Structure 1
Amino acid sequence: MGVDAPARPRGHTDSLGEQIQRAFPRTKVVKAFCTQEQETVVDPKSVGGGDHTIFVAGDYAEAKTAVTELLRSYGWDDVLDLGPLVSARGMEMYSAMHMAIGLALGGHFGVKIVR
C-alpha cells in the first residue's frame, strides 16, 4: 500500500495501525492512546485517581517499551500490552465504544481491567 493509496476498510480484518505499518515497513508502529480521551491520556489521575487501564499493541518489543515508558511518565500505572499489532483492530473498534460511553456519561471516564 502506498501513502496515496485509498485506505482499506478497517475493523475485524484490518486496522489503521496495520495500514501505517504496511505503508512504512521500516517504522516500528505501536498502537496506543486511542482508547482514552487525550486529556486523560496525559493526566490519568484526573479520572478515578488514575485507577484504570490503557492499552498498547505492536510487533516490536523495544518500541512498545518506549511507549509504555512515555505512558508511565504521564502517570499511568496500568498499561496492558495486548500483543502484536493485529490487536490494534480491537483497540480501534473499542475506541468508538469508548466515545459512545463518554457521550452517555457526559464526561471523562476510565475502564479498569480486573485480573
Structure 2
Amino acid sequence: MSIAILGLGNMGKGLAKRLAGKTDIVFGAHDMANATTFAGLLPGHIKVGDYRDAAKISDVIVLALPYAAALEEARNNREFDGKIIVDMTNPINAEGSLAVGHTTSAAEEIQKAAPRAKVVKAFNTIFAGVFDAPPSATAGVPVFVAGDDEKAVEVVAALARTAGFASEVVGDLSQARLLEPLGMLNIRLGYGVGKGTGIAPAWLTIG
C-alpha cells in the first residue's frame, strides 16, 4: 500500500517519520527541493512529486494541509477519485475558533468537494510534537477514526497503529463534528492553558 502525504508542515513530517520504512510513501509538495532533502533523511525509498502526481500513484492520501488548502485540493484534484482520503485538519479561522462545526465538519465538507473519494477523519487530536515521542510512549494514545466506508476506516485505523498509536473507531463521518471540537479543546489546553504540546485526549475505563 502506498501513502501520499500532501503537505510537509509539522504534521506531515511527523507522520512521515512514524511511517517511513514501514510502508511506501510519496511526498506531495510544492517545494520539491525541500521535500527531496527531507525524504533523504528517512529510512526506505520515498518518492517526491507534486500533489497530483503523488495522489495518482497512491492508495491512501493524507491531507496534512490547513483546512482551506485541503478543501481546495479536494475540489480540484481529480486523482482523489476512488482513493481513501485522510483528513487530519482542524478548521480554525482567523479568530482561532472553529470555522465550521455542529451541523457539518471539515471532513464532511471535504467529502462534498471530492464525492468520489472515501474520506476518513483521523489524527486531528494529535499534536505534531507527539510524533517525536518514542512509539512505546504513544502506543496507548488513541487516534480517533470516523468515516462512512467501512473498509476505508479499517485501513486508516491500521495505519494509525502502524504509526505507533492505538486506534478508536467512533462511527460515520458525521462524528467528525465531535472530533474537531475535541481537537480544538486539545489546542486550548496545550496553548491557552499552558499544558504544552505533549498531550493528547484519551478515555479511561473505570471499574
- TM-score norm. by structure 1 comes to 0.80
In the alignment, structure 1 residue 16 sits paired with structure 2 residue 110: no
In the alignment, structure 1 residue 84 sits paired with structure 2 residue 172: yes
Q: How does 1:1-115 map to 2 (within 5 A)?
A: 3=75, 10-40=100-130, 42=131, 45=134, 49-50=137-138, 51-76=140-165, 78-103=166-191, 104-115=194-205
Distance across 1 between alignment mates of 2:197 and 2:148: 33
- Determine if contact 1:102/1:109 at 8 Å carries over to the other structure: yes
Instruction: Answer with 1 or 2: which has the greater Rg.
Output: 2
Aligned residues: 107
Distance across 2 between alignment mates of 1:44 and 1:27: 32
The one-letter code of the counterpart of 1:16 is A
Say if 1:110 and 1:45 are closer, same or farther in 2 by CA, change over 3 A.
Answer: farther
Which structure has greater helix proportion?
1
Distance across 2 between alignment mates of 1:91 and 1:69: 19
Distance across 1 between alignment mates of 2:204 and 2:183: 19
Task: Give per-residue Cα distances to partners, 1:59-110, cap 9 Å, x unaligned.
Answer: 001111111111111111x311110000011111111111111112133112
Unaligned stretches of 5+ residues in structure 2: 1-71, 77-98
Which structure has greater strand proportion?
2
Distance across 1 between alignment mates of 2:118 and 2:133: 25
> Which stretches of structure 1, 4 residues or longer, exceed 3 Å deviation after superposition?
42-46
Distance across 2 between alignment mates of 1:19 and 1:37: 23
With a CA cutoff of 8 Å and minimum separation of 6, indicate the structure with the bigger relative contact order: 1
Q: What secondary structure is seen at the aligned counterpart in 1 of 2:146?
A: strand
Q: CA deviation at 1:38?
A: 2.5
Say if 1:97 and 1:27 are closer, same or farther in 2 by CA, change over 3 A.
Answer: same
- Determine if contact 2:129/2:197 at 8 Å carries over to the other structure: no
